[in-house]
Amino acid sequence: MNYDSFLKRDYKFLCRDSVRHFRLTRLHIIVLLACVLLLGTLLTFASHTAKARHNPTLSTAPQTPSATHVTLPLALPAAMHATPVPGNTSLSPQASVHRWSVVRVRRGDTLAAIFARLKLTPGELHAIMVLGKPTATLRALRPGQQFKLRTGPDHTLQELVYHINPLHTLHIQREGGRFKARTIRRLPEVRLAHVAATIDSSLFLAGQQSGLPKNLIMKLAGIFAWDVDFALDIRKGDRFSVVYEEDFLDGRKLRDGNIIAAAFSNRGHTYRAVRYTDAGGRTDYYTPAGLSVRKAFLRTPVAFTRISSRFGTRYHPLLNRIRAHQGVDYAGARGTPIKAAGDGKIIFRGRKGGYGRVVILQHGGHISTLYAHMRKFARTQHVGSHVRQGQIIGYIGQSGLATGPHLHYEFRVNGVHRNPLTVTLPHAAPIATRYRQDFLAHSTQLLARLAVYDHTQLASNRTQ
């Protein structure tokens, strides 16, 4: 067979079969004209829109802030004005080409991990971390915190802004080839609030019902802990009144501040206290006469517990005989913190027979206190350690001869046991003479405010 002639003939056949003559009909002409008109209309509309954008006189719509404000991702001006950074906030031509990045701290993040994600060099990280105390906070990042970083055209770090908390911002900036760090602090607006209530069952419950925050209830008890035993002395009908500070930032409450004045009426006697900071920076609470409300010793070394056994002779439940009980037992939940009744030095810390785990503190030359039946001791303390009044030295337990978890507390003067509930406690130092006139002027205003609040609260209670 002649394949060459066959292939040529087949090729000619396919070409001849595939060729078609195209005929232009009226329908084709109509469709073509419609497409041309539509394309012309679109081009004309686009041209007018572009002119209106570049020429404000072609737009007749009123200009409103919402219409003119454009939000761009990580816009440099917005980032700069949102951060309380001192100095000139105007942008130089060089800064305008720099790039801002916003980074939110993830769980488990470190500054090194953040720098690695942004492809910043370890040398820049090291230069920041050796700046000392201002950048020490960068070692303990918390999830949700936010960074703003500005990098230059060569991708080198130029600026870092770290929001530590609502009041503090760390600002790091490259100046002359080196980084400099400073912490910027915002001052909150301080407002005064007042709470007054009558106690029906307990201070804590009355405080909660009056709206006094829990932490301020504990502070109130701490202020008057030298005069009132809140485990024993509280009676139905006792009253308290508190003036305290509240910190606001941008119109929103940020936190509760300090108690600046308070009164507590117990068993018909009213105790008053005013907070005062002298020119030397020392802050304490004083009576209206300028005496410190603090004594050299706390009346009770534990908070909000009940007395299960008093000072004196009693029948011992485990030894089954009458014997002298030379301290006071405070029943409490296992693990309740035990506080040092006064400043002192630990002279014994360990087990002592039926006392179980014991801590003995020496206060000055002639007073000592003993704390027994502890569950465990406070960490980092040892024999010879000095402790401050109110510092935790251990926790309530049931070690030694004890029928239940409680603290056995003894107060000794020259080695002789005294009743902790009735012994006269020495006062702390009064306000210095050179600050007395300033204190009296300060306290008079606060006590007058407290009296007005008390009168208003009592009048409100009578009308209800």
Q: How confident is the model at residue 65 (pLDDT cuts 50, 70, 90)?
A: very low
| 411 & 434 share domain | no
Number of domains composing the chain: 3
Residue 12 in this model has a pLDDT that exceeds 80: no
CA distance 234 to 222: 14
DSSP letter, residue 51: H
pLDDT tens digits for 389-430? Answer: 889 999 999 998 888 899 999 998 888 888 888 787 777 778
Residue 52 in this model has a pLDDT that exceeds 80: no
Residue 17 in this model has a pLDDT that exceeds 60: no
| 318 & 412 share domain | yes
CA distances from 457 to 221, 448, 450, 460 (A): 21, 14, 11, 5
CA distance 432 to 442: 15
Q: How confident is the model at residue 57 (pLDDT cuts 50, 70, 90)?
A: very low
More confident residue, 182 or 230: 182
What is the mean predicted confidence (pLDDT) over 38-67? 51
Does residue 108 lie in a domain region?
Answer: yes
| 434 & 288 share domain | yes
294's tokens? 């603090």
What is the mean predicted confidence (pLDDT) over 151-166? 87
Q: What is the pLDDT of residue 78?
A: 37
Q: What is the pLDDT of residue 75?
A: 38
| 168 & 196 share domain | no
Q: How confident is the model at residue 94 (pLDDT cuts 50, 70, 90)?
A: very low
Range of the domain at 217: 188-294+428-464
Q: How confident is the model at residue 38 (pLDDT cuts 50, 70, 90)?
A: confident
| 323 & 400 share domain | yes
Q: What is the pLDDT of residue 47?
A: 55
Residue 110 in this model has a pLDDT that exceeds 70: yes
pLDDT tens digits for 269-313? Answer: 899 999 999 888 889 999 998 888 887 788 888 876 666 665 455
Residue 7 in this model has a pLDDT that exceeds 80: no
End of a domain among 380, 399, 418?
418
| 368 & 327 share domain | yes
pLDDT tens digits for 333-378? Answer: 889 999 999 888 999 999 998 899 999 999 876 889 999 999 999 9
Of 158, 175, 161, nearest to 124 by C-alpha is: 158
What is the mean predicted confidence (pLDDT) over 374-386? 93
DSSP letter, residue 397: B
Cβ contacts of residue 378 below 8 Å, gap of 6+? 391, 392, 393, 394, 395
Does residue 39 lie in a domain region?
Answer: no
| 285 & 316 share domain | no
| 367 & 386 share domain | yes
CA distance 97 to 130: 29
Does residue 56 lie in a domain region?
Answer: no
Residue 74 in this model has a pLDDT that exceeds 60: no
Does residue 16 lie in a domain region?
Answer: no
More confident residue, 45 or 307: 307
List, in sequence order, every beta strand (DSSP E) within 337-423: 337-339, 344-351, 357-363, 367-377, 386-387, 392-396, 406-413, 416-418
End of a domain among 152, 185, 218?
185
Q: Which stretches of 55-102 are DSSP H helices? A: 65-68, 76-82
Cα-based torsion angle of the residue sequence 83, 85, 87, 92 in order, rounded to the nearest 10 degrees: -50
The pTM score is: 0.54
More confident residue, 325 or 345: 345
Is residue 97 within 8 A of residue 149, CB to CB? The reply is no
Q: What is the pLDDT of residue 419?
A: 87
User: Of 65-69, 125-129, 415-419, 430-434, which range is least confident?
Assistant: 65-69
Question: Is 171 exposed, middle or buried, given 0-12, 13-18 or 19+ CB atoms closer than 10 A?
Answer: buried
End of a domain among 185, 213, 231?
185
